Amino acid sequence: MYEPTIGLEIHIQLNTETKMFCSCPIVGYDVEPNTDVCPVCMGLPGALPFPNKKAVHYSLMLANVLGCEINRKSVFARKNYFYPDLPKGYQITQDEIPVAEKGQLKFKLPNGEYKTVRINRIHMEEDAGKSYHIGSGEISLIDFNRCGVPLIEIVSEPDMHSPAEAALYVRNIKQIVTYLGISSADMEKGNLRVDANVSVKRKDETELGTRTELKNLNSFKFMQKAIEYEINRHINCIESGGFIVTQTLLWDEKENKTFPMRTKEELSDYRYFPEPDILCIYVDEDEINHASESVGELPGQRILRFIRQYNISNEIAEKVCETKGFSDYADKVLKITSDKRITINWLLIEVLRVLNEEKISIEEFPIEPKNLAELLDMISSKKISNTIGKKVFREMIRTGEDSKSVLNRLDIKFISDENELEKIIETIIAENPVSVNKYKSGKTNVIGFFMGQVMKKTKGQADPRKAKDILIEKLN
């Protein structure tokens, strides 16, 4: 039997306005390549870098949440390696004295148990450029716009032993940084990237096996697949009498296998030395306290508040609070509506369905929280039926109108007048003598058929409860 061991390095792109060591703005991917650059981020002779204060503040916020020891003095270093997307020939990062060390993250596993992963360090650094490979790789182009974008790297201890544990750890880190507001952590856009160090040993051995590094894993699906593949590759290699080579690998999502990128460098290969152009970073008690006060409500705290404030289960609260954006929206709606059960159902079913179908974020959702709350209160107070509510909801999404405007424009009304319902039901009963006889012979499930006819005749505008009561009374 073998035991895999996994350690992760998570690179988080920070939501600062400018780059890590210069005043170039942070731009998106729709900007023309190689236009958002300057002598500093391109490493031209004579250019002097200067640290981004907001990036330091964000690092202190994260260090506080992960229970790290914050170093009052930290130092930037040059990490020397040659790669086409690194114009300076080195990366400015932190080595011997990072901004923070020795933290931990505790999270819940699917079986209900809790897992603790130790954090080795948190350090600040700059990003490299982005490579674009054309065709089968004969031509490569480099966009240097991303050069110098500020990153936080979170380095874990090798405390995880399955791809599922690794994925849960990353999901929790992503949730924390988005709640803090320090990063969007969008893996598809490269705002969160993971490097995984994987090794395998026999369970009776104490020394860890030779490790390989999986580089630039940018989705949970590919990360789990790549780690699983690498674990099996290690085991098969050992079983066949071979030995593992220390190397850096990439994941080929088309072939579903890893392939070597380069032989794994050791620390000495990078020739780290203190960055001569940047002074030491000193943080005082006021800055640490300010970072602590900036943290705000964390996922666990919000889940507990939702359970208490809205009287919902832990499971439901976890679903609603999975992302900060969605839980912010839900919080605004829940604070206004009277029926929390109906609200939660609509949020987790109807709203999420639209987000998934349209492939949009909650920030792009066209219905304002107050307008959704108004619609849900009309449903819960029986002013309109659930069927009408869904029709109005679709129109609100299409047009951006509020619920009352949609109701007026479509001339939709809710039929709750008993006399009007009685006339409609009497007509339906007269038109369906066969179904009436079935009901009288004991087949009461035909009530569903009659209710369908009521809704059809009223175009979904009948009060379903009143209609059913009158229907049963007339049939009896």
The per-residue pLDDT for range 73-117, each reduced to its tens digit, is 999 999 998 888 899 999 999 999 999 999 999 999 988 899 999
What pLDDT is stored for residue 475 in this prediction?
79
pTM of the model: 0.85
Query: What tokens does 314 get?
Result: 């832990």
How many CB atoms are located within 10 Å of the residue 225 CB? 18
Q: What average pLDDT score do residues 267-283 get?
A: 87
The side-by-side arrangement of strands in the sheet containing 100-108 is 69-70, 100-108, 114-126, 150-156, 2-13, 192-202, 212-217, 247-252, 257-263
What pLDDT is stored for residue 137 in this prediction?
65
Q: Could you report the per-residue pLDDT of 19-77, keeping only the tens digit for each?
A: 999 999 998 777 899 999 999 999 899 899 999 999 999 999 999 999 999 999 999 99
Q: First and final CA of the chain: distance in angstroms?
A: 70
Query: What tokens does 246 get?
Result: 């220390």
C-alpha to C-alpha distance for 248 and 256, rounded to whole angstroms: 17
What pLDDT is stored for residue 410 in this prediction?
78
Amino acid at 151: L
Query: What tokens does 207 get?
Result: 């020394």
Q: Which of 9-13, 213-217, 307-311 has the lowest mean pLDDT?
A: 213-217
What is the overall mean pLDDT for the chain? 90
In the predicted model, is pLDDT for residue 362 greater than 60? yes
In the predicted model, is pLDDT for residue 5 greater than 80? yes
Where are the CATH 1.10.10.410 domain residues in the chain? 418-475
What pLDDT is stored for residue 266 in this prediction?
60
C-alpha to C-alpha distance for 177 and 179, rounded to whole angstroms: 5
Higher-confidence residue of 384 and 9: namely: 9
Higher-confidence residue of 160 and 382: namely: 160
What pLDDT is stored for residue 28 in this prediction?
77
Q: What average pLDDT score do residues 414-427 get?
A: 74
C-alpha to C-alpha distance for 114 and 301, rounded to whole angstroms: 17
CA-closest candidate to residue 277, choices 50, 86, 18: 50
In the predicted model, is pLDDT for residue 264 greater than 60? no
What pLDDT is stored for residue 123 in this prediction?
97
In the predicted model, is pLDDT for residue 308 greater than 60? yes
State the pairing for strand pair 212-217/247-252. parallel
Count Cα atoms within 13 angstroms, Cβ side, for 342. 19
Report residue 265's pLDDT band, with 50, 70 and 90 as the boundaries: low
What pLDDT is stored for residue 462 in this prediction?
73
418-475 fold: Arc Repressor Mutant, subunit A (1.10.10)
Q: What average pLDDT score do residues 275-290 get?
A: 95
CA-closest candidate to residue 226, choices 251, 205, 260: 251
Which residues fall within 8 angstroms of residue 1, CB to CB, at 6 or more apart? Answer: 202, 203
Query: What tokens does 47 get?
Result: 């250019």
In the predicted model, is pLDDT for residue 326 greater than 70? yes
Q: What are the backbone dihedrals phi and psi of residue 437, each rounded to the nearest 5 degrees, phi first? A: -60, -35
Q: What average pLDDT score do residues 185-211 get?
A: 91
